[in-house]
Amino acid sequence: MNDFKQQFSNFTSEYLLKLRARGDELSDKAHQAIEEIFAERGELLPEKPKTPIITSYNEIPSTGNAGKKLKTPVIVTLGLIGMAIASVIANTRIGILISVGMIIYWIAIWVQRVTLTPAQREQEDIEKKARGDGLTEIMLCAADANLERIRELVEYGGDVNARSNTGTTALMYAAGNNHLAIVKFLLAAGANPKLMSDKKSTAAEIARKFGHLEIAEYLEQER
């Protein structure tokens, strides 16, 4: 018996699906074991993703204030507290160790950054901004019309109705960028066309705002 199969046999199908979502980060034998277990359980298993499916972007819906920037008074207060603590421990052994540790940490971050190619740095910046804005990978793919990747993400449990920090959804990004095929797929996958952004705009209203009338009319028929 495949060692992985023996190891995985007691795992839930949901957990095995999360393992398979790692794509090429998981060995071929591990994928083979998962495929055999799903076949024995009579359950459908998506194809191995071409790119690992990870939660690099927040999949948590907006809760209003979640993800928003701290107010200036809070930042100032935290800064003053930090300065007070720093002044107390500055001349102690632990203070010196903390300072050295922080210097090493920032040097490591800088070295990692400068060794990236321009394309890698651009991708890193995109991902950093996406995390800050509460975007999901499905939202980014909807904006870029990457239907193949969206299909993979949905097969692995991606939430098509997840909300960003401003209440936007993947359907809104697809509608605003005039991607009718993506709109149709998301609707078939359970996307809710009635959801509104924080500005009280639906996907149809966003499409109409940008002049994408075919999409606007299609969405309005689905409501």
- Regarding predicted confidence, which is higher, 178 or 130? 178
In tens, the pLDDT along 127-175 reads 666 666 788 889 989 999 999 999 999 999 889 999 999 999 999 999 9
3-state secondary structure 92-158: CHHHHHHHHHHHHHHHHHHHHHHCCCHHHHHHHHHHHHHHHHCCCHHHHHHHHCCHHHHHHHHHCCC
131 plus 197 within the same structural domain: yes
- Across 172-186, average pLDDT: 97
105 plus 195 within the same structural domain: no
217 plus 127 within the same structural domain: yes
Q: Full-prediction pTM beyond 0.85?
A: no
Is the predicted pLDDT of residue 12 greater than 60, yes or no? yes
Which residue carries 């359980």 as its tokens? 41
Is the predicted pLDDT of residue 188 greater than 80, yes or no? yes
95 plus 111 within the same structural domain: yes
CATH value at residue 187: 1.25.40.20
168 plus 100 within the same structural domain: no
110: confidence class by pLDDT, cuts 50, 70, 90: confident
Domain span at residue 87 reads: 72-115
Rounded distance, CA 100 to CA 116, Å? 25
Alpha-carbon distances, residue 17 vs 13, 26, 42, 46, 79 (angstroms): 6, 12, 14, 9, 44
Q: State how many domains the chain has.
A: 2
172 plus 89 within the same structural domain: no
Most confident of 28-42, 93-107, 132-146: 28-42
- Across 112-119, average pLDDT: 74
Residue 60 has what pLDDT?
A: 33
Percent of the chain whose predicted confidence (pLDDT) is above 70: 72
- Regarding predicted confidence, which is higher, 179 or 58? 179
Residue 21 included in any domain? no
Which residue carries 């010196």 as its tokens? 96
Residue 68 has what pLDDT?
A: 40
